[in-house]
Amino acid sequence: MRNVDEKTVEGFGKEWSWCDQTPLSADELERQFAAYFSVFPWDRIPPDAEGFDAGCGSGRWAQKVAPRVGRLHCVDASAEALDVARKKLARLGNCAFHHASLADMPFSDGSMDFGYALGVLHHLPDTAAGIAACTRKLKLGAPFLVYIYYAFDSRPAWFRALWHVSDAMRGIICRLPGRTRLWVTWPIAAFVYWPLARVALLLERLGLGVEVIPLSAYRNKSFYSMRTDALDRFGTRLEKRFTADQIHRMMTEARLENIRFSDGVPYWCAVGFVAPRSK
C-alpha cells in the first residue's frame, strides 16, 4: 500500500513547479528553517550522517540540511516535485533522489542516522502509518523530526470556528482545475493574508500581543511566502489536523521516545528518538 492520495500528489507537483521557492530571500529562508528545525538535535547526529527528507517537495529544507550532513536522500511521491528539487540541489553533491511514497522508500530498515517529514504527514490517508514507515528506516536512537498541522488545540473556540469556514472554502477551491487554483488563491493571499499579517506586525511594534490574530505568524514573511502558503492551504485535496496529544501518541506508537515539541510556531513541530523494540 503506497499510502498516498493521488490527487494530492498531483496538486503538490503543480504547486512546487509554479512556486519553487527560488524567490525567497536567504534571510527569510534561514528564519523559516530555524523555526522548523528549532528542536532538531544537530549535536546528536554524526558529521557524516546519512538521512532522509520524506516528502522533499521543492527541496527548500534539503538545501539547508545537505551541507550539514554526509548524505541526504530526497524522497517524494511526485516526479514533478522531485524534478524541482533536483534542479535546486544540483550544486550539492551529496543528495540522492527517489521517486517513491513513504511506504516504499528504497533503503534498508534501520539504516538511517536521522530523518524528517515537514508538512507531509497530514496529507496522507493514514498519518500514523506514514510516521511508522519513516521510523522503520532509522537506526536505534536516531532522531525523527515532524511538522504536522495542528487542530488549533491551543486556540479559542472562535478561532477554530473561523478555520471551519476556511476549510469549507478549501473543499471547493482544491477541486478547481490546474492554474485556476493559482489565480484564485493569490487574491486570498493579497486580501486576507497580507492585511492580517501587516496589522499584526504593526500591533507588535506597538508592544501589543498578536498571537491571537489569525495569520499573525506571517507578519515577518514576504508576500511570496503568503501566496505559496495560500495555494498550499486552499489548493490541497487531502488535509488532516491533529492535537499535540494525538501527535505524541502516533509518534510513541511508531517507537519514538523522549518526544519534544517546539514552543512556538509553526504548530506542531516535534522530534523523537527511535526506541528499542519491546520484548
pLDDT at 279: 45
Angle CA 186–190–194, to nearest 5: 130
Mean pLDDT value of segment 246-271: 97
> Which helix (H) or strand (E) element contains residue 146?
strand 143-147
CB atoms within 10 A of CB 214: 17
| Higher pLDDT among residues 264 and 2, named by residue | 264
CA proximity to 226, closest of 193, 181, 187: 193
pLDDT at 1: 62
pLDDT at 51: 98
Superfamily of domain 6-151+241-274: Vaccinia Virus protein VP39 (3.40.50.150)
- According to DSSP, residue 104 is labeled G
The set of cell numbers assigned to 220 is 515577518
**Strand ordering across the sheet containing 71-76:** 95-99, 71-76, 50-54, 114-118, 143-147, 269-274, 256-261
Taking each helix axis as running N to C, give the angle between helix 79-88 and helix 6-18, from 0 to 180 degrees, rounded to the nearest 10: 30
- Give the chain's radius of gyration (CA, Å): 18
Percentage of the chain beyond pLDDT 70 is: 99
CB atoms within 10 A of CB 38: 14
Predicted confidence (pLDDT) per residue in 140-180, tens digit = 999 999 999 999 988 899 999 999 999 999 999 999 988 89
| Higher pLDDT among residues 155 and 245, named by residue | 245
> Which helix (H) or strand (E) element contains residue 91?
none
Q: How confident is the model at residue 74 (pLDDT cuts 50, 70, 90)?
A: very high
What distance, in Å, lies between the first and last C-alpha atoms of the chain?
27
Mean pLDDT of the chain: 95
Longest CA span, the chain: 57
- pTM value surpassing 0.85: yes
pLDDT > 80? residue 278: no
How many angstroms separate the CA atoms of 99 and 114, rounded? 19
Which residues partner with 97 through β-bridges?
74
Predicted confidence (pLDDT) per residue in 207-240, tens digit = 999 988 999 999 999 999 999 999 999 999 999 9
CA proximity to 233, closest of 130, 77, 123: 123
Question: What is the number of alpha carbons within 13 Å of residue 117 lying toward its C-beta?
Answer: 30
The set of cell numbers assigned to 186 is 493569490
pLDDT at 277: 78
